[in-house]
Amino acid sequence: MTKMTPIESEFATTEDEAAYDAWFRAKVEASLADPSPPIPHDQMMAELRAIIAARRTKPA
């Protein structure tokens, strides 16, 4: 296990970095292979803004 400093990487070890890289690449490949139609950016942002607004008005 190779330790890394925060200046070199945000990961504690090279193994952590490799594991994250493999996970991230798998997510990207799965997304690119997804046959469902893409959601337009404006539509997604409107949905997210509605979720945020609803949470802001909800008592804690």
pLDDT tens figures, 5-17:
667 778 888 899 9
Asked if residue 4 belongs to a domain, the reply is no
Would you say residue 1 has pLDDT above 80?
no
Q: Which domain holds residue 41?
A: 14-57
Distance between CA 19 and CA 34 in Å, rounded? Answer: 23
* The total number of structural domains that make up the chain: 1
Asked if residue 36 belongs to a domain, the reply is yes
Name the average pLDDT for the chain.
89
Asked if residue 8 belongs to a domain, the reply is no
Distance between CA 48 and CA 54 in Å, rounded? Answer: 10
Asked if residue 23 belongs to a domain, the reply is yes
Asked if residue 51 belongs to a domain, the reply is yes
Q: Indicate the pTM of the whole model.
A: 0.58
Instruction: Give the closest residue to 16 by CA, choosing from 30, 26, 3, 33.
Output: 3
Asked if residue 27 belongs to a domain, the reply is yes
